[in-house]
Structure 1
Amino acid sequence: MIIDVTEQPIERPKQGQEAYYSGKKKQHTVKKEIRIDQDGTIVHVSATYPGRVHDFAIFKQEPPPPSDVPIWADAGYQGIEKLHKSACTPYKSSKKHPLCAEKKTYNQVLASQRVLVEHKIRSIKVFKIIGNRYRNKRKRYDLKFNIVAGLVNLQNGLSLLKRAA
């Protein structure tokens, strides 16, 4: 299972602006966690969280994945190994402690596996209601996101059928 979080800009809320302000994107956003399997099928979409909430905090609040399934995650999930024994995250380097060749190779292999979820997020954002600034005051946002995720899954299923034929 591969997991990642995506952010979508929203209109500035009238109240509670601080919770929705994302320091990473420098604007007001909402976040959703997406989990896919090895075939590229979306198996879980999280609830909507304000832009200030950390990726790992979203993971903790969502239902845990099965313990026997390996998880590949990005650097935002540092510490996930304590909750899920078969989770993999990339190694971090610093100025004083650069990565050795083995750790760099490990990070490259992990990134080559994780790219599937990045492509899936891109497929979701092709639908402009999810790709652009969301302006509907977050009414039925979860429903709209889940419909788009279902359409992407349907598109993925049809492409798998074409390859098999």
Structure 2
Amino acid sequence: MYLKCYPTYDLQGLLFGLDRTRVCRWVKILLPVLEMTLGRECVLPARQIRSAEEFFRAFPGVKDVFIDGTERPVQKPKNLRRRKKMYSGKKRQTTRKGLIMTDETRQIGFIPMSKNGRRHDKRLLDKVDIIRHIPPEVTIWADTGFQGIDKQHPNTQIPKKGTRKRPLSPEQKQENKIISGIRIIAKRLNFDYII
């Protein structure tokens, strides 16, 4: 529970009927035991990736990376300027927006800090500047909210977008279905607890 929800020691003490100092001691005692049993370090995903080495440390032996944006509703701020910045027209409420990057095993390796809900997914991705650190042999799977990422990374899979003047052909629609079927891996994750 501590690693998944990351509650405060006060909350954990309340839930388990312990004092907060006792909870802190148990976490420090049991966390190394859990890591030794699992055979890996139990830490939160990276907030920044500044090089290809850091990327491969977060995603060891990865061939595919799935990028998606998520929005989490928050309480409306009393300040009207802050409320306007946090308002998401897509969700029609005040939200915090975040990005998530996973691999084919559904391991979350990268989550930048969440921002106001008004920002666009692609703009958030450009701000964290991670695309240039992803090697060309790794395939990036993204949705149509990340249009233009294919110009930054040569190995990108994004569904095609149709227009009124140029609707999608049946082959393009079939290709979009295949891409969506593969991308659903990233969508099935519930990552509201991390943001």
Tell me whether the two structures share a fold, i.e. TM-score over 0.5. yes
- Work out whether residues 67 and 85 of structure 1, in 8 Å CA contact, stay in contact via their aligned partners in 2: no
| Residue of structure 2 equivalent to 1:82 | 151
Q: Per the alignment, in what secondary structure is the counterpart of residue 58 of structure 1?
A: helix
CA distance in 1 between partners of 2:135 and 2:171 (Å): 27
Q: Which one of 170, 176, 183 corresponds to residue 107 of structure 1? A: 176
CA distance in 2 between partners of 1:52 and 1:31 (Å): 8
Structure 1 residue ranges, 4+ long, deviating more than 6 angstroms after superposition: none
Q: What percentage of aligned pairs have identical amino acids?
A: 33
CA distance in 1 between partners of 2:175 and 2:141 (Å): 12
Larger Rg: 2
Q: Per the alignment, in what secondary structure is the counterpart of residue 120 of structure 1?
A: coil
Deviation at 1:13, TM superposition (A): 1.3
1:41-61 CA distances to partner (integer Å, 9 max, x unpaired)?
111112111000000001111
| Residue of structure 2 equivalent to 1:13 | 77
CA distance in 1 between partners of 2:112 and 2:129 (Å): 9
1:66-113 CA distances to partner (integer Å, 9 max, x unpaired)?
122110100100111111121121111123321112211110111011
CA distance in 1 between partners of 2:164 and 2:185 (Å): 30
TM-score (norm. length: structure 1): 0.72
Q: Which one of 135, 140, 144 corresponds to residue 67 of structure 1? A: 135
- Work out whether residues 67 and 86 of structure 1, in 8 Å CA contact, stay in contact via their aligned partners in 2: no
Deviation at 1:14, TM superposition (A): 2.2
CA distance in 2 between partners of 1:86 and 1:19 (Å): 34
- What is the number of residues matched between the two proteins? 126
Aligned residues: CA RMSD: 1.4
| Residue of structure 2 equivalent to 1:40 | 106
Instruction: Answer yes or no: is 1:97 the counterpart of 2:97.
Output: no
Q: Per the alignment, in what secondary structure is the counterpart of residue 166 of structure 2?
A: coil
CA distance in 2 between partners of 1:37 and 1:62 (Å): 18
Say which structure, 1 or 2, has more relative contact order (CA 8 Å, 6+ apart): 1
Instruction: Answer yes or no: is 1:2 the counterpart of 2:66.
Output: yes
TM-score (norm. length: structure 2): 0.61
Q: Which consecutive unaligned segments of at least 5 residues does structure 2 have?
A: 1-64
